[in-house]
Chains A and B, each alone.
Chain A
Amino acid sequence: MSKRCTIARLGLLLMAVALLAGCDQQAKELLHAGKATARTDLVGGPVAYADTGDFILENDKVRVAILGFQRSWGPGVFGGSLVDADIRRDDPRYPPGYGRDKLAEIFPFANLLVPAPLGGQVTVVKDGSDGQEAVIRVEGKGMFMFEALSVLETQRKLLAGLGYPDVHTSIDFRTDYLLKPGDQFVTMRTWVALRPRASQSNQNKGFSEGASCTNDASCGSGGVLVCQNIGTAGTGTCGCKSLADQGCGGETCAMAHNFDDFGCQQCGCSGTATMTNTTGPVSVFAAVLGPKNPGIGESKTKAGVGGGDFVFFGNQTDIFVPGHGFDEEKPVWDALFNNVDTFGHPLVFDFVSAAGGEVSYAYYTKKQAGQDKEPQVLVPVFTSAATAFVTAAVNCSTDPSDDDSCDKVRVFEYERYLAIGQGDIASVSDIVWKHRATATGTVKGYVRWEQTGQAVANASVHVLRDPDPTKKWTSLQEVVQANRAIDASPGVLDSVDADVGADTVEDGAFEATLPAGHYVLVPMDPHKVVTGAPLQIEVKAGKTNVVVPSLPAPARLRVKALDSQGSALPAKATVVRLGSDGKPLFRDGGRLPYFGQGRLGIGIERLAFGMDGSFDLPIQAGTYRLVVSHGIEWSVADQVVTLKPGEERSLKVSLAHEVDTTGWLSTDFHLHAEPSFDSGMPLGDRVQTIAAEGVDYVASTDHDVLSDYVPFLRKFNLDQWLKAVVGSEVSTLEIGHYIGFPLKYNQVEVAGQPHNAVPSHGSVDWYCTPSNDLLKKILASSGMDGGQASTIIAHPRDGFLGWLDQAGVNAYSLTRTLSLMEQNNPVLRTVACDQDAMEVFNGKRFDMTHTATVKEVQLFSRCLKRIDDAGVTGNTVDAASAREVMKVACPELADRGLQNVVTFEGVDSCPADEDITTCKMRYRMALAAISAGDINTRTPEEQAAWMAEGQSLPSGATEQTSDTALSALKPLCDFDPAKLSQPFETAVPPASWNRPCGRRDGVLSDYFRFLEHGYVRGIVGGSDSHGYKQEPGLPRTYIRSNTDAPSNVDPQTVGESLRGSHTVPSYGPFIDVKVLGGGPGDTVKATAGQKLKVHVKVQTASWFGVDRVEVYLNGQVAQAFDLAVDASRVVDFDKDVELDVPTRDSHIVVVALGAQPGSWMRPVYLDVPFGELQLARVASIAFSSLLGSLAKTVFPPPARIPDFFPVFPMAISSAVLVDVGGDGKYDAPLPLPAFCSPQCDATTGEIQDAGYSAQGKKRKCSDLQSNYKCLTPENRCGVDVPGVCNIYSEQKAGALRSLLGTH
């Protein structure tokens, strides 16, 4: 070696040493808070929202992003929220700005208010340059995320009257997001400052609320409001005084000054008190409302503050709660079935975490000084995508002893943490244990295949509580059963991934820390197919356990699906696990939801989709029923296979197109995928699931974002099977959801932008936009090759997310009455009715189709109550007696042989070894199936009663009349448990049996009434599919078309067919209706008294059927046909139905239904099972809970309508309109609905639309309903709702401060 080289090598060595030292030092000092100025500053990832201009907080471990002053494009509304979070990745695959964020959004709330930061209220407090900490601060006035919640503010007097005075609904927020070097968690420290107002007691002494000292702005700069002239009786007035006059210095306070009991500012700044972290279940409303609220925690306290966060983990993560594991939905549904109000009795968890594969999160708190145990987070609202956590609360006592430390304090502080891990639950649990200084030991090892000893890369190891360490557990089921006996949970405490996250060395190794204790470890393969034998260990603090659990080899099932010509067919494989009796296992079957296998129901083990007809399914050994399908028009292949461990089986099946739909396209205009925050389905998977269901034409309709399926159609070579256009579901929070398609989507433009630079991809911004303007915005986005966009109202009767419900539309009078909670919501001043169509079928929501009758609802409620109560004594359930009681739970159905409801589905009782909880669900589900079938089987009497409720009102009825009618209806379906022992005829008078239940309205019922009012719009069925469990095309819309080839479809023609109502929404059957040569949506001419032949042909594929066909004339059931149950029949009904043409213009509608078990679509289409929670449903539950809590003493609980059921084959044809008058058009007997907001002349108040005229004379808005006005600037009839909506535009207008002060 040359000397020169030797010197060079020495130099290299020295340089390496220096660099290593330097790098180490650099890593330790990495601490930064600041504005992102470049893409590389951002977090990045599949659901990253932040962009340049937003704020970044990072250290050597983690990087998070916080929105600046802007409207949130995430599930929240306002800015300042934590939207992105990831570990730091020193991995060239993930360069800066291209991380793996999978968090949707987190933002604090207190008393249901959330901060709405304005310009300059998101700031860097400490940039981290001191090496100590980096802090980003978000301040903001508390606003209600849901305007509906402003009822707490607007109805303060009402609340006080109900016994809830002084509720704090005027709050300022300050939240510091804080990082220190080395932290793997973000500290979120929030201060809430209560804005003062005169207390209720002082108001009672003469200080009106409005005279309280709340508005410091009115005193101008340097002035403060003080109370003056306080008399001995406590009366007085407020006025302005300078600080000097007050004897105060010129101090400024960080959050709040001191105030007196009258809400008047005093010298000095308010001290800060720390809110108490919750360590057990307390009522959320107890904290917020004060002493008279129901539920846990009643004490002599005043209204207080409950603080926490809205945490939207997002659907690209799997939520985990210690105890229930990944089955976090189970406790929610357990609570619901036990009629537990989760606000009064919230769910309680040690912490809640979410695994995203490459990144994971945990939300938690830690014990405060003086607390002897670790706190827990309270969960009043929970879905897999959206959760509200309450972590701390404060309620001052009525006892004066705490006045100084509590009552006079205006600022309260609470703290919680967001841990960010490698991708599994264990990596965030580790952070939690460490942060809490919990004594832990280590468990490590690897999972291996039992047959070869090979390490299983990316396997997982689930950690369960050992229910009895003295016992030897031989199966997972034993362990779970023993754990359930302890606390009703399977006892899943942690989950560890081998090769966690983006580990490049896939050697199957895992490692985790666990608190000292006894555990059972259960390994699982990376595809979540097989589990290994349980393995018991004892973990000791500071010690390490090395374990090597084994997994049996999964079996494999290879299937090839072909059409009758032998060509490959996109198809779906449904694999149902069969028990030893050859019948499908009940509910989850062999799936383990608590280990993250998800829930499919009816014993289904696997679903798979094969674009070229090929399936390769790893599956655990067992006996299965394999059903291969291609949607509702095709036959299925159905066979039983038995597989042993490691066995591979190849099968070839052939399917045939059975249903003739010539001239009709099968469409689905309501589909979601990963771009929607509440869907975790990749776009490619979405396209595959659509093609496998045999849908011809679809629109992608993600929530508030445009996405394009076309690249995936090409990728999978599906052009001949499917055509797709770009659309969006404009998902307002409080005026319903609006679908628009095809919309402009510039792929190049989007591709050229980073995903989170244009998070909506051009979708319509609905914030503070009334519905008429919203429709205009959608139409303005028309584009692609489809001409004018089509607009559809989604799920119009879906409570909080339903257009008709939110607008307060009375289903009988079609007038509007805003609910108490929406009376201050300005976007509800008017209601648009100009959309092209509305969904009469949405998802598998058979609870939203027909309006149930009083008898149906009461009968369901009575039977359900008996099942719920069966064998229950206190907190225990006697299984034997419960089984006996349930066998006669429904005497009301004795005449149908269904006193024992499970006989409906061909069994006599639960299996002997089935636990009572599962057994009860079996009865509940059978009952729900019967009830839902009955509700959707419309008798002539029921339909006549429905129509009569509206028609009993005199023409031009006022809303008072209709409201009276409604208020008379509602109590009829309130269930009174006290009457359970009475005979049904006594408890529910027969005269009311057929009357509609006025608390829940169905869209099909609405449709008939709309037709009577001449409000003719298209009707559609949309699957609203968010994942695998909601099949695309179920329901779907058959739409008349001039081509049957998807590749030849012209979107413009589809739009025209939709606007022309040439549609047949369907859950399976295909209805062909011909009247005088016309079909659905057509207007035909006829003569009064003429015998009209209506040709009705109903077809179903050979594996399901219809057993009832109903022909409606003018909203009445003119003829109904009960058919023999025969699923194998393809043409179920084919005949001419003769009707007498009445003297008025008419409409004819046909409905087909399969309500009997032999007609159902199992297992190809999954039941709506126990366990499925949608955000919409949870929001409804939350608001019902709020109202229920407020008014529980006033109103009994409303009757329940079954919302879990099998899929019933059901279809409805759009109305064929019959022109009897001879003017060539359909003239409805009733005027256009009042709830629509017709255009009006502000000067005259007259309605411009001739459809609202009476006898040729223009009517005024007030003629529609007395509180209608011709509103300006809208120039539409509507309700003059006060309130502030767009805080951002108001800020620009300079009026915000005072406006916000009104809160």
Chain B
Amino acid sequence: MRPSFVNMFRGQQAFSLAISISFVAVALVCRPALAHEHPGPDLPAGATATGDAKPCGDCDHGGKGSDAKPCVGDCEHGGKGGEHRGCPGLAAAGDDCDCPECAGDHHGPHGEKGEHGEKGEHGERGQHGEHHGMGPHGEGGHMPPPMFGQLHGWLTQLPRPTALIQMQTAVFTGDSAQVARGDRAEVAGFGLRRARLGFEGNEGRHLSYALSADLASNPQTSGGNLGEAWLAMHVGHLELKLGAQHTPYLQEAMLSSGHLGLAERSFSANAMAPFRQVGATLSGHYDLAGLEWYVGSYNAFERGINFYQGIREFSGFTGNRFGGVSFVGRLSAAPLGAMGKQVFDAEGGKLRLGIGVSGYTSDAGATRMNGMAGDLHAKFMGAHLLVQYLRDTANPKEQPTDTATTTTALTRQAITAELGYAWRRLNAAVRYEKIDPDTSRDDDQDGTVVSGALGVQLPGERMRIQAQFDHRQEPYGPTIKGASALKNDVAFLMFQLLH
């Protein structure tokens, strides 16, 4: 019923056409001047290094090869680089310049990326600090001989394939287990959790891009099986990323699924974080106290029918359903040193502390949704603690005239606490969650979840095997009748292969 500017505009086709023609005319007339005002890159892509960075030694043109060789010595330029690129975790640590943290995903000889983002059951995001990869030769990377420079530049600009395969085996499912309620499986057996295929690459030293698709069906993804589709521009400390991407909201949601403490993210993160959306993100990354900030604007968010369906991803894939936009912001710091991309304290180092706060507001047509989250991440001597609090509200844009009979705000909140320990390639973690999908009432959506997981990460971080058990308690569920717990406990094994 709401009048739409777009529709009004469509209604005047002649007008629209005339305006379009006029714009083209103006653009043609103005082109030289505009070009002059906004000069583009004037260096051939990939042909020139900045020169202020040094080669990264064994890291081979940038971060590090897939075989995870240490990049001793030059790491501050190759791994980290003057632009805070490369190995953010190590750079912040800055002690021995070993780049194990760089070794992760797909940062090949020509720069690196945070990782091909992926999604949990309800979506997840890739590593923060992603796409800090260098230009074609790595910022500060060594130059090839001139006679091979052009060919080398061309070759190094080829997109690099990415892949993620994750299979899960439910070995036990309770009678009430349901995927729709956030459970990992509702029947015992095998399932393909993720099957992502894509590529990523660079175009010059200021541009990078990624495109991937998930071939495993996911009923929660309204926009089809698109994984990521973005283009990022890097200038100084800043990065502007455009396209389908992870929104910068909540630590756990921004971590790669390959670097979680448990096989799957918490129920509340899956349900309350927006994960991948279509829009633009501007971010800044600084050495000082590991400070990072993000602001982004995306198509307005759309929640599912129930709490566990979370926020639909890629609502813009088939058009911006509500015509509105959302804004997301995050500020984080790691004052005691970089936290790394893993939840675990794999290196068993000294105390590090990461804190972050996030918020969003979304203009979903008749509704406005606001959310906030805070996270605290600590690592010490192989142990880690991750505590998160999430709260959001859906409000009618126009307040009901008779509040006695009509609904106003709907607020939900959740808190999670995860404690874990890693020893060599083995790790273990437990997580506690308390979820309240509607703070104004007690109902069968309320619940607590206790999860425990054991895992092993195989060499190269390319392969991970993990076992997890979830126990859920829904105190107001109709099947409990005040007597026994719901039988929606789930035990499952996860096998993950990354490339």
The A-B contact count (CB < 8 A) is: 204
Q: Is the CB of B1 within 8 A of A500?
A: yes
* Interface flags, B1-45, vs A, CB<8A=1, else 0: 110101100111111001100110110011011100100000000
Give the shortest distance, in Å, between B428 (CB) and chain A (any CB).
32
A274 vs B395: C-alpha distance in the bound complex, in angstroms? 55
- A23 CB-CB contact with B under 8 Å: yes
Which among B12, B25, B396 is the interface contact of A8 at CB below 8 angstroms? Answer: B25
- A646 CB-CB contact with B under 8 Å: yes
Given known pairs A4-B33, A446-B367, A448-B367, the reply for A544 and B401 (CB within 8 Å) is yes
Provide the residues of chain A in CB contact with B398, threshold 8 Å.
Answer: 444-445, 546
A545 vs B400: C-alpha distance in the bound complex, in angstroms? 7
A88 vs B33: C-alpha distance in the bound complex, in angstroms? 43
Give the shortest distance, in Å, between A547 (CB) and chain B (any CB).
5
Which of A11-19, A262-270, A697-705, A1237-1245 has 4 or more CB atoms under 8 Å from chain B? A11-19
Q: Is the CB of A648 within 8 A of B15?
A: no
- B484 CB-CB contact with A under 8 Å: no
- B460 CB-CB contact with A under 8 Å: no
Q: Is the CB of B406 within 8 A of A4?
A: no
Residues of chain A from 529 to 581 with CB closer than 8 A to chain B in the complex = 535-537, 544-550, 553-554, 556
- B236 CB-CB contact with A under 8 Å: no
Closest to B23 in A: A12
Residues of chain A from 24 to 38 with CB closer than 8 A to chain B in the complex = 26
Q: Is the CB of B365 within 8 A of A90?
A: no
- B389 CB-CB contact with A under 8 Å: no
Given known pairs A506-B321, A544-B401, A553-B306, the reply for A453 and B410 (CB within 8 Å) is yes
Q: Is the CB of A90 within 8 A of B4?
A: no
Which of B98-106, B177-185, B334-342 has 4 or more CB atoms under 8 Å from chain A? B177-185
Q: Is the CB of B1 within 8 A of A451?
A: no
- B50 CB-CB contact with A under 8 Å: no
Provide the residues of chain A in CB contact with B408, threshold 8 Å.
Answer: 548
* Interface flags, B454-494, vs A, CB<8A=1, else 0: 00000000000000000000000011000000000000000
Most chain B C-beta atoms within 10 Å of own C-beta, residue among A512, A548, A648: A548
Which of B65-73, B141-149, B204-212, B437-445 has 4 or more CB atoms under 8 Å from chain A? B437-445
Provide the residues of chain A in CB contact with B409, threshold 8 Å.
Answer: 453
Q: Is the CB of A445 within 8 A of B180?
A: no
Closest to B178 in A: A648
- B307 CB-CB contact with A under 8 Å: yes
Which among A5, A509, A645 is the interface contact of B34 at CB below 8 angstroms? Answer: A5
Provide the residues of chain B in CB contact with A498, threshold 8 Å.
Answer: 1
Q: Is the CB of B322 within 8 A of A505?
A: yes
Which among B12, B178, B402, B478 is the interface contact of A90 at CB below 8 angstroms? Answer: B12
- B366 CB-CB contact with A under 8 Å: yes
Q: Is the CB of B396 within 8 A of A445?
A: yes
Given known pairs A506-B321, A548-B407, the reply for A453 and B180 (CB within 8 Å) is no
Given known pairs A92-B10, A448-B394, A453-B394, the reply for A549 and B407 (CB within 8 Å) is yes
Q: Is the CB of B400 within 8 A of A452?
A: no
A15 vs B19: C-alpha distance in the bound complex, in angstroms? 8
A452 vs B26: C-alpha distance in the bound complex, in angstroms? 47
Residues of chain B from 37 to 62 with CB closer than 8 A to chain A in the complex = 37
Q: Is the CB of B402 within 8 A of A547?
A: yes
Provide the residues of chain B in CB contact with A457, threshold 8 Å.
Answer: 321
Q: Is the CB of A452 within 8 A of B305?
A: yes
- B250 CB-CB contact with A under 8 Å: no
Q: Is the CB of B365 within 8 A of A455?
A: yes
Number of interface residues of A (CB under 8 A): 62
Q: Is the CB of B1 within 8 A of A509?
A: yes
Given known pairs A12-B23, A509-B366, A548-B406, the reply for A452 and B396 (CB within 8 Å) is no
A22 vs B412: C-alpha distance in the bound complex, in angstroms? 50
Q: Is the CB of B369 within 8 A of A453?
A: yes
A272 vs B304: C-alpha distance in the bound complex, in angstroms? 62
Provide the residues of chain B in CB contact with A19, threshold 8 Å.
Answer: 12, 14-15, 18-19
A537 vs B23: C-alpha distance in the bound complex, in angstroms? 50
Give the shortest distance, in Å, between B312 (CB) and chain A (any CB).
9
Given known pairs A504-B4, A511-B1, A553-B305, the reply for A445 and B366 (CB within 8 Å) is yes
Given known pairs A446-B366, A550-B407, the reply for A452 and B1 (CB within 8 Å) is no
Closest to A16 in B: B19
Residues of chain B from 99 to 138 with CB closer than 8 A to chain A in the complex = none
Q: Is the CB of B23 within 8 A of A650?
A: no
- B150 CB-CB contact with A under 8 Å: no
- A503 CB-CB contact with B under 8 Å: yes
Which among A506, A536, A537 is the interface contact of B322 at CB below 8 angstroms? Answer: A506
A215 vs B478: C-alpha distance in the bound complex, in angstroms? 82
Q: Is the CB of B401 within 8 A of A545?
A: yes
A504 vs B8: C-alpha distance in the bound complex, in angstroms? 12
Which among A2, A507, A545, A556 is the interface contact of B365 at CB below 8 angstroms? Answer: A507
* Interface flags, A217-237, vs B, CB<8A=1, else 0: 000000000000000000000
* Interface flags, A448-491, vs B, CB<8A=1, else 0: 11011111010000000000000000000000000000000000
A300 vs B405: C-alpha distance in the bound complex, in angstroms? 55
Given known pairs A500-B1, A511-B1, A537-B402, the reply for A548 and B396 (CB within 8 Å) is yes
Which among B22, B178, B402, B406 is the interface contact of A12 at CB below 8 angstroms? Answer: B22
Q: Is the CB of A455 within 8 A of B10?
A: no
Give the shortest distance, in Å, between A96 (CB) and chain B (any CB).
10
Number of interface residues of B (CB under 8 A): 68
Which among B305, B321, B369 is the interface contact of A554 at CB below 8 angstroms? Answer: B305
* Interface flags, A645-685, vs B, CB<8A=1, else 0: 11111100000000000000000000000000000000000
- B373 CB-CB contact with A under 8 Å: no
Give the shortest distance, in Å, between A357 (CB) and chain B (any CB).
15
| Interface SS of A by simple majority | mixed
A342 vs B383: C-alpha distance in the bound complex, in angstroms? 83
- A20 CB-CB contact with B under 8 Å: yes
- B214 CB-CB contact with A under 8 Å: no
Give the shortest distance, in Å, between B270 (CB) and chain A (any CB).
14
Provide the residues of chain A in CB contact with B11, threshold 8 Å.
Answer: 90-91
Q: Is the CB of A4 within 8 A of B396?
A: no
Most chain A C-beta atoms within 10 Å of own C-beta, residue among B305, B306, B319, B407: B305
- B302 CB-CB contact with A under 8 Å: yes
- B364 CB-CB contact with A under 8 Å: yes
Provide the residues of chain A in CB contact with B319, threshold 8 Å.
Answer: 504
- A9 CB-CB contact with B under 8 Å: yes
Q: Is the CB of B30 within 8 A of A547?
A: no
- A510 CB-CB contact with B under 8 Å: yes
Closest to A616 in B: B219
Closest to B445 in A: A451
Most chain A C-beta atoms within 10 Å of own C-beta, residue among B15, B181, B186, B399: B15
Closest to A525 in B: B305
Closest to B396 in A: A548
- A644 CB-CB contact with B under 8 Å: yes
Provide the residues of chain A in CB contact with B178, threshold 8 Å.
Answer: 647-649
Q: Is the CB of B438 within 8 A of A507?
A: no
Provide the residues of chain B in CB contact with A647, threshold 8 Å.
Answer: 178, 180-181
* Interface flags, A493-525, vs B, CB<8A=1, else 0: 000001110011111111110000000000000
Q: Is the CB of B19 within 8 A of A507?
A: no
Closest to B12 in A: A23
A90 vs B438: C-alpha distance in the bound complex, in angstroms? 42
Provide the residues of chain A in CB contact with B393, threshold 8 Å.
Answer: 453
Q: Is the CB of B33 within 8 A of A91?
A: no
- A1 CB-CB contact with B under 8 Å: yes
* Interface flags, A413-457, vs B, CB<8A=1, else 0: 000000000000000000000000000000011101101111101
Q: Is the CB of B4 within 8 A of A648?
A: no
Taking Cβ atoms with an 8 Å cutoff, the residues of B that contact A are 1-2, 4, 6-7, 10-15, 18-19, 22-23, 25-26, 29-30, 32-34, 37, 178-181, 186-187, 302-307, 309, 319, 321-324, 364-367, 369, 393-396, 398-402, 405-410, 412, 437-438, 444-445, 478-479
11 contacts between A and B (CB under 8 A): A5-B30, A19-B14, A452-B307, A452-B410, A454-B305, A504-B7, A505-B2, A512-B1, A544-B401, A549-B406, A553-B305
Given contacts A9-B30, A448-B410, A544-B401, 11 further A-B contacts (CB under 8 A): A2-B33, A19-B15, A20-B12, A91-B10, A452-B304, A454-B367, A507-B324, A545-B402, A546-B406, A548-B396, A647-B181
